[in-house]
Chains A and B, each alone.
Chain A
């Protein structure tokens, strides 16, 4: 077993096993999001398939977000796919299909350089786009994917470049395919190849015209059948100029870059099912499955949800356009933004999310306003809206119903015992501190108007059972500095924010604003408790 077969075997095991594992995850994670309901309206399958195909082939959704990223992507795909099929898989594609195929003949040699150059150019555009617009959202794997593909392409060019220069390769070929019939033939052929094809020999090469002529003849007879002029490998040939003439490192360079190129190809193949490396497969499948829809199909089937969870390309558009991005800016929880929320949701559904991070996910999930914008801009066509709505339910069913859910897990008395001994301070030092200021309650005469007009009190059969405290009692406790006694009261958390109490208070006590403040304080206490903020 040599490097090639071991590498190829390992890469294939990783790729096939990993893809199996990923596809299996679509169903398990998709079912874990939530039970599907009746399902949304279905589209005509043929038209949907056409639209999905158009999205995939022309990257139409990517185009909507700007020409730079689209052209980078398009160039990379147009360059890389032919390289993958015609060059990397030439043993199973090009050679059996094209009679007389040799990688060193044109058009193959020329096309390899052309496609490689197109890919590199596309990759540079993508790199630039990420630096310019997406730097703050990027994680190591985003850069890793760019780096591996870039390394693969550039090492290919260097490999070819050193092969062109390699005297060792030349000698290996002439040993196998050339028999000198008269003395001087080999040196003429060498001289011809040194001048025309850029081979670098250690010894001095003659340049006499008659030798060149002889060399050209011999080349035609013995070499040209399998070798186009290396000048058609226009990138690699030009790159030979990078190596100073005095350096005879072609053979070592060729070996080094062969390992680099082949090794990176195996690495890319092996990494295919892992993380973002999988997006060419999952995103393509998702675009087809979505059939061109930009709105949300409520209650997607589990398999589609699972596929959607996997299809993110981390392009960052959702987070750039997110309606609650300003809230993320203030609160700083990465799970408020769709891109990070999606990857944490995947981990959560796979049972791999830490409790603290699950708290962040829950908060992000509840702050999302379900505005559909991320779904509309998603270049991978993921039905994020459906995932957010379904996962909010799933989290609540798992006992993670956000701040309200956490508060309601304990009684007002339990909260008051836990918080009673603590200095609760003002609302994180940033609030208006209405609840802490004696002036807020200066005018309160306990007239119970606030309680009398409260619609929540009115619909409750037994307010002291359902609500713990009435609004005017909360005001009274706060006046006495007993904030901890009010924080867990159901009245605070079941306030419907209608502002009737505040509007009707004859003494101008900002009752509803104070209840808001208490909820903000409660949310902050929970954040600290869970080790966030």
Chain B
């Protein structure tokens, strides 16, 4: 399988390990990644301008469509906004007309065929399943999964999983040999969208969320979104007693037997005891 890989803006500087581990996992699983020069998904600017947000998203979809590939992103916010943009243009004829016109001026098609896939969905769809390729099962590791709002809701637009009782993340965690634990706040917001806008509430949200994950008894909090990981990661740095947040791509990479260097696993990390 080959996908147009959409890393999103934050990976390059703020979370390079996410891109690095996702790409390593894909290479190991034989998933080819094309890398056209994508732009912003339009998510951050959605507060300021609908047209700018939708156009920015559609332009990326058009680039993927030009390659004849489906688009895959490891970020839930990028995923959500790309889906939102298409939904909004389909709901609003005038918006669609404006977008078609601008894309046409760029020499790009209106993207109606390309599918937007999140990294987790691509893994979940693998023929034979992820479990069949796991070589180093992470026995005894207990994981609290954090879903990430923008992939999950609104379900009629994102088509990610059941918005009230999703199972995809737990399924993929179980495939690595680890044990997913149930907990109350797994579908709640991490608080990142309020960073720089309302720091106080962003802090309250992340603290509540991480306390909930910790009380579930899990060893770590698994994430599959750049923004969520940034939010939890900075909390981990500020307060070392909080439950460590780890990207799913790193967890899976370890179960696949990838090198700890590529996955950024250092001695003392919560995953270090599984390094063979």
Contact = CB atoms under 8 A, between A and B. Distances in A.
A520 B50 contact: yes
Given A327-B42, A385-B13, A523-B48, A432 B88 contact: yes
A104 B173 CA distance: 82
B37 to A, nearest CB: 7
Interface string A458-501: 11100000100000000000000000000000100110111110
Contacts of B217: none
Interface string B95-116: 1001000100000000000000
Contact of A371 (B9, B51, B88): B9
Given A330-B51, A330-B55, A520-B49, A369 B198 contact: no
B interface, size bucket: 35 or more
Interface in B66-112: 88, 91-92, 94-95, 98, 102
A interface, size bucket: 35 or more
A455 B188 contact: yes
A323 interface: yes
A324 interface: yes
11 contacts: A323-B38, A327-B52, A329-B102, A367-B45, A367-B48, A370-B10, A404-B196, A427-B50, A494-B198, A497-B193, A503-B163
Contacts of B269: none
Nearest to A517: B50
B189 A432 contact: no
B204 to A, nearest CB: 4
Nearest to A502: B154
A431 B40 contact: no
A528 to B, nearest CB: 13
A460 B202 CA distance: 11
B119 to A, nearest CB: 19
Contacts of B9: 323, 369-371
A325 interface: yes
Given A385-B13, A503-B163, A369 B44 contact: yes
Interface string A310-350: 00000000000111111101110000000000000000000
A455 B94 CA distance: 34
A71 B191 CA distance: 50
Nearest to A388: B13
A411 to B, nearest CB: 15
A371 B10 contact: yes
B201 interface: yes
B216 to A, nearest CB: 18
A373 interface: yes
Contacts of B152: 499
A28 interface: no
Interface in B19-62: 37-40, 42, 44-53, 55-56, 59
A498 B201 CA distance: 13
A296 B13 contact: yes
B208 interface: yes
Given A403-B48, A432-B92, A519-B47, A323 B40 contact: yes
Secondary structure type dominating chain B contacts: helix
B205 interface: yes
A372 B193 CA distance: 20
B150 to A, nearest CB: 7
Contacts of A519: 47-48
Contacts of A403: 47-48
Nearest to A295: B13
Contacts of A401: 196
A402 B208 CA distance: 28
A456 interface: yes
Contacts of A38: none
Given A372-B13, A499-B150, A520-B50, 19 more contacts: A324-B56, A327-B40, A329-B55, A329-B102, A330-B49, A330-B102, A331-B49, A367-B48, A373-B12, A404-B196, A430-B98, A432-B88, A432-B95, A466-B201, A494-B194, A494-B198, A496-B194, A499-B149, A503-B154
A516 interface: yes
A520 B12 CA distance: 28
Nearest to A516: B46
A500 B201 contact: no
B168 to A, nearest CB: 17
A376 B59 CA distance: 22
Interface pairs A-B: 8 shortest CB-CB: A371-B9, A499-B153, A369-B9, A498-B189, A498-B149, A459-B204, A330-B52, A372-B13
Contacts of B98: 430
Contact of A326 (B40, B47, B163, B194): B40
Contact of A502 (B40, B53, B153, B201): B153
Contacts of B164: 503
B197 interface: yes
Contacts of A497: 149-150, 189, 193
B197 A493 contact: yes
B76 to A, nearest CB: 11
Contacts of A494: 194, 197-198, 201
A512 B201 CA distance: 17
A292 to B, nearest CB: 18
A126 to B, nearest CB: 24
A455 B189 contact: yes
A324 B37 CA distance: 12
B48 to A, nearest CB: 4
A323 B39 contact: yes
Most chain B beta-carbon neighbours within 10 Å: one of A326, A329, A458, A460: A326
Nearest to A367: B45
